[in-house]
Chains A and B, each alone.
Chain A
Amino acid sequence: MQIYTFIMLALLYSLAAYAEEPALPGGLDDLSSEPDLPMGLDSSESDFPKGFNDEGSLIDPVFTITGFIELRSGQWIDKHSYQAQRPLNEARLQLELEREFSTFTFTAVADLIYDDVTNDRGIALENGNGWLDLRTANAVFSPTPFMDIRLGRQILTWGTGDLLFINDLFPKDWNAFLIGREVEYLKAPSDAIKISLFNKSVNLDLVYTPRFDADRYIDGSRASYFNSTLGRLAGTDAVTKVDRPNDWLHDDELALRLYKNIAAYELALYGYNGFWKSPGGLNPTTGRALFPDLAVYGASIRGPLASGIANAEWGYYDSQDDRSGRNPMINNSEQRLILGYEQEIATNLTLGMQYYLKHMEDYAHYRRTLPAGAYPARRSRQEYTLRLTWLTMNQNLIWSLFSFHSPSDNDGYLRARLHYKHDDHLSLEVGGNLFWGDDQQTFLGQFQNNDNLYTALRYGF
């Protein structure tokens, strides 16, 4: 009997060694090579950590406060006399408060800013200048099960383009975009009411902005641009003066989106009635830039194609103050189109490509009425964009490239960024914005003296 026991033991031992099983934990009296039973499957239920599963919820039922503190500083690669001293040099504290009430949720996001470039210590909630940029302050509630309402200051986005927008006519902050702020600042807030209706067959979003919210457009106060009156690149020496439509309820905007999913494909129709969001005209007597009337109709589709995601979006820009295209001081109507595709081409490496077309209507009228000596825009502006995102070091180091290139206007823009998450709170970022163009008058060519590099340090909480 003893010898059989010995053989059995030897056999088990050799099997265990052969299988490279984990060494047996102490206290186990059987000789099997199996893993320990986890807590809950073994007999020692009482060993389960006390308090586990009894912890509070990750979502606080009433009130949360989160945010970050950030230092961000940039430099022009080649500074020109008409540019601000630096593209940016600022400290920012963002506080986000969320408070849940029985029938609604209130959210506020406020940025407190020390801005060394504009040295502006006032408050201008409309354009975000000064020491306070109130990004969000709204209440969300559902008066009926099929309706959501968001009322107040809010960031709004829809459409399918990647950093290209056709039917998204919510305000953008192009300054923030070009000078190296975090990309979330490309979106400027709207003071609006958004009503969303949900239905099995189709959903509807309706956004009413009682007073026009313009883009935070390039006005020369930081970055330089092409000033058509001066006929040259200009900046702080010729900050754009505008006549902004700003009568409550009269100079209002209405945007709507009708959308539904069919299988994996997202379909949408859009409509907009308001104004060109960045200056789209000039008053020849005052020399002030205008935001002429604009209506937009469009459609989009997005869904899987091959092993990636494809999207197509179209819009018709109806420039209502110059329907015939004969007024050289106001933008002509346009057709716009985006075709895009994105795919993970290797593990943790994503490639996105887009084709973008802006096609001017009534081009003959435009050319005929163009003042002598003025730079004639091409009828069609075509652009290709390329996005490369590469995640390394367990997704803690993110390499990102985004380029715009227009073969028709021979201009372009490259955004490069390296973002490192040092730990759960601290992140570091370096990046650059590079512009080029054959002509100073084209859409991106006008920014050719704005090449800049920036660095940022952020602590999130």
Chain B
Amino acid sequence: MRNLITLLLFILPASLVAAPTVDEIVHRSNMTTYYQGEDGRAQVKMIITDSQGRERQRQLTILRIDAAKSDAIEGDAYLGGQKFYIYFHRPADVNKMAFLVWKHLDQDDDRWLYLPALDLVKRIAASDKRTSFVGSDFFYEDVSGRRLDEDRHELIETTKSYYVIKNSPKDADAVEFSYYKAFIHKQTFIPVQVEYFDKAGNKYRIAKALGVKNIQGYPTVTKASVENLKTGSKTVMEYSKVEYDIGLDDALFTERYLRKAPRRQLR
């Protein structure tokens, strides 16, 4: 007993000193998930499995560039606008389509979709960010991030491996969840598991990191899943050819390259 108390006395102050604040945890996690490096590329394969076991696949390449050229958490230096270029390979009906998103922190995203069969650059109206991304169980927000100031964050538990954060929306009517619980890995700040609870308090959606790799020093989720417990549908996403700081040109994220895919950068 005395040993235990001694142990607690020894550990507790130390962990209190070392423990980051909630703010720091969520910012570090946000940076790790969405902002690592100045730019990046990944090839993505998604397998969507519905409740009856039927599978659909998506294959796409994502290019990203950050306006903020820093990964520093201090003073929110890492935060800023981002641009995404998404090029679809599969299924056949979306082959060679390209999707361009200019994500802003303070206003709606700008989005363009290029339909090669029509040579049409279509401007896409801003939409509910919590709707399916390309028919999968991932939401737009899961792919491009959710603004931290849209939720209140609370550290409810610290386990051996995780900070457990409860996130409650400031505008409860704007979203379908009443709160979500994120298990954030203490060393890497990767959200390993995120559980969404509905207004009745039932868990209905789980996002998981299934595989992590160290790529150029950046801890990177290379396999992830989202499961919808209500519909029984599940999507597994695998990232390959992940690279950071490849020196992408900002000009790549324009109409020019919607009409003429930047094949070298996509490969």
A residues engaging B (CB < 8 A)?
1, 4, 20, 30, 32-35, 37-41, 48, 52-53, 55, 57-59, 61, 66-68, 100, 105, 140, 148, 150, 154-158, 183-184, 186-187, 196, 198, 203, 261, 264, 266, 302-304, 307-309, 311, 342-344, 347-348, 350, 394-396, 421, 423-425, 427, 458, 460-461
> How far is it, in angstroms, between the C-alpha of A98 and the C-alpha of B69 when the chains are bound?
36
> How far is it, in angstroms, between the C-alpha of A69 and the C-alpha of B127 when the chains are bound?
33
Cβ-defined contact, B108 with A35, below 8 A: no
> How far is it, in angstroms, between the C-alpha of A400 and the C-alpha of B128 when the chains are bound?
19
Cβ-defined contact, A184 with B91, below 8 A: no
Sort A-B residue pairs by CB-CB distance and give the 3 closest, nearest first: A460-B92, A40-B212, A184-B117
Residue of A at shortest CB range from B202?
Answer: A20
Cβ-defined contact, A58 with B61, below 8 A: yes
Name A4's contact: one of B1, B60, B110, B125 (CB within 8 Å): B1
> How far is it, in angstroms, between the C-alpha of A1 and the C-alpha of B2 when the chains are bound?
10
Chain B's nearest CB lies how many Å from the CB of A361? Answer: 30
> How far is it, in angstroms, between the C-alpha of A309 and the C-alpha of B123 when the chains are bound?
7
Considering the complex, which residues of chain B in the window 156-210 have a beta carbon less than 8 Å from any beta carbon of chain A? 159-162, 164, 183, 185, 187-188, 190, 192-193, 203, 208-210
> How far is it, in angstroms, between the C-alpha of A210 and the C-alpha of B88 when the chains are bound?
34
Chain B's nearest CB lies how many Å from the CB of A53? Answer: 5
Q: Which of B12-20, B22-30, B259-267 contacts A (4 or more CB under 8 A)?
A: B259-267
Cβ-defined contact, A157 with B128, below 8 A: no
Cβ-defined contact, A39 with B123, below 8 A: no
Cβ-defined contact, A198 with B256, below 8 A: yes
> How far is it, in angstroms, between the C-alpha of A394 and the C-alpha of B228 when the chains are bound?
12
Cβ-defined contact, A186 with B92, below 8 A: no
Q: A38-B210, A41-B188, A396-B135 are in contact. Are A304 and B160 (CB under 8 A)?
A: no
Cβ-defined contact, B125 with A59, below 8 A: no
Chain B's nearest CB lies how many Å from the CB of A162? Answer: 8
> How far is it, in angstroms, between the C-alpha of A184 and the C-alpha of B93 when the chains are bound?
12
Cβ-defined contact, A394 with B61, below 8 A: no
Indicate whether B59 reaches chain A with its CB closer than 8 angstroms. Answer: yes
Chain A residues whose CB sits within 8 angstroms of the CB of B146 once the complex forms: none
Cβ-defined contact, B241 with A37, below 8 A: no
Chain B residues whose CB sits within 8 angstroms of the CB of A52 once the complex forms: 211, 222-223, 238, 240
Name B91's contact: one of A198, A342, A460 (CB within 8 Å): A460
Indicate whether B124 reaches chain A with its CB closer than 8 angstroms. Answer: yes
A48-B213, A264-B102 given; name 13 further pairs at CB < 8 Å. Answer: A4-B1, A4-B4, A20-B203, A32-B161, A34-B160, A35-B193, A59-B61, A61-B267, A187-B117, A303-B123, A342-B123, A394-B132, A423-B54
Chain B residues whose CB sits within 8 angstroms of the CB of A38 once the complex forms: 190, 192, 208-212, 221, 223
Cβ-defined contact, B192 with A37, below 8 A: yes
Indicate whether B119 reaches chain A with its CB closer than 8 angstroms. Answer: yes
Cβ-defined contact, A30 with B160, below 8 A: yes
> How far is it, in angstroms, between the C-alpha of A58 and the C-alpha of B161 when the chains are bound?
35
Considering the complex, which residues of chain B in the window 22-81 have a beta carbon less than 8 Å from any beta carbon of chain A? 43, 48, 50, 54, 56-57, 59-61
> How far is it, in angstroms, between the C-alpha of A308 and the C-alpha of B126 when the chains are bound?
6
Chain B's nearest CB lies how many Å from the CB of A243? Answer: 29
Chain B's nearest CB lies how many Å from the CB of A396? Answer: 6
Residue of B at shortest CB range from A352?
Answer: B125
Chain A residues whose CB sits within 8 angstroms of the CB of B211 once the complex forms: 38-40, 48, 52
Cβ-defined contact, A58 with B59, below 8 A: yes
> How far is it, in angstroms, between the C-alpha of A58 and the C-alpha of B193 when the chains are bound?
28
Name B210's contact: one of A39, A59, A61, A158 (CB within 8 Å): A39
> How far is it, in angstroms, between the C-alpha of A33 and the C-alpha of B161 when the chains are bound?
10
Chain B residues whose CB sits within 8 angstroms of the CB of A155 once the complex forms: 117-119
Chain A's nearest CB lies how many Å from the CB of B31? Answer: 17
Q: A304-B110, A460-B93 are in contact. Are A344 and B1 (CB under 8 A)?
A: no
Cβ-defined contact, A344 with B210, below 8 A: no
Cβ-defined contact, A66 with B92, below 8 A: yes
> How far is it, in angstroms, between the C-alpha of A32 and the C-alpha of B56 when the chains are bound?
36
Cβ-defined contact, A395 with B132, below 8 A: yes
Chain B's nearest CB lies how many Å from the CB of A383? Answer: 20
> How far is it, in angstroms, between the C-alpha of A396 and the C-alpha of B48 when the chains are bound?
12
Chain B residues whose CB sits within 8 angstroms of the CB of A157 once the complex forms: 118-121
List 13 A–B pairs whose Cβ atoms lie within 8 Å, in order of A's numbering. A37-B161, A37-B185, A40-B219, A41-B161, A48-B213, A58-B43, A140-B260, A303-B123, A347-B127, A394-B135, A423-B54, A424-B56, A425-B92
Chain A residues whose CB sits within 8 angstroms of the CB of B119 once the complex forms: 154-157, 187
Q: A39-B223, A184-B117, A348-B131 are in contact. Are A34 and B1 (CB under 8 A)?
A: no
Cβ-defined contact, B212 with A39, below 8 A: yes
Chain A residues whose CB sits within 8 angstroms of the CB of B82 once the complex forms: none
> How far is it, in angstroms, between the C-alpha of A74 and the C-alpha of B117 when the chains are bound?
23
Cβ-defined contact, B123 with A59, below 8 A: no
Considering the complex, which residues of chain B in the window 214-257 have a beta carbon less than 8 Å from any beta carbon of chain A? 214, 219, 221-223, 233, 238, 240-242, 251, 254-256
Chain A's nearest CB lies how many Å from the CB of B40? Answer: 15
Chain B's nearest CB lies how many Å from the CB of A59? Answer: 5
Cβ-defined contact, B128 with A32, below 8 A: no
> How far is it, in angstroms, between the C-alpha of A308 and the C-alpha of B212 when the chains are bound?
38
Q: A187-B119, A309-B124 are in contact. Are A41 and B92 (CB under 8 A)?
A: no
Indicate whether B95 reaches chain A with its CB closer than 8 angstroms. Answer: yes
Chain B's nearest CB lies how many Å from the CB of A405? Answer: 22
Residue of B at shortest CB range from A67?
Answer: B92
Cβ-defined contact, B1 with A347, below 8 A: no
Residue of A at shortest CB range from B104?
Answer: A264
Residue of B at shortest CB range from A347?
Answer: B128
Residue of B at shortest CB range from A304?
Answer: B108
Q: Report which residue of B90, B117, B127, B256 has the largest number of chain A beta carbons within 10 angstroms of its beta carbon.
A: B117
Indicate whether B115 reaches chain A with its CB closer than 8 angstroms. Answer: yes
> How far is it, in angstroms, between the C-alpha of A196 and the C-alpha of B93 when the chains are bound?
28
Cβ-defined contact, A187 with B241, below 8 A: no
Chain A's nearest CB lies how many Å from the CB of B255? Answer: 8
Chain B's nearest CB lies how many Å from the CB of A170? Answer: 8
Residue of A at shortest CB range from B58?
Answer: A424
> How far is it, in angstroms, between the C-alpha of A347 and the C-alpha of B127 when the chains are bound?
7
Cβ-defined contact, B126 with A344, below 8 A: yes
Residue of B at shortest CB range from A54?
Answer: B240
Q: A1-B1, A344-B128, A460-B92 are in contact. Are A34 and B108 (CB under 8 A)?
A: no
Cβ-defined contact, B162 with A66, below 8 A: no
Indicate whether B103 reaches chain A with its CB closer than 8 angstroms. Answer: no
Cβ-defined contact, A53 with B256, below 8 A: no
> How far is it, in angstroms, between the C-alpha of A427 and the C-alpha of B128 when the chains are bound?
26
Cβ-defined contact, B193 with A394, below 8 A: no
Cβ-defined contact, A35 with B162, below 8 A: yes
> How far is it, in angstroms, between the C-alpha of A155 and the C-alpha of B118 when the chains are bound?
6
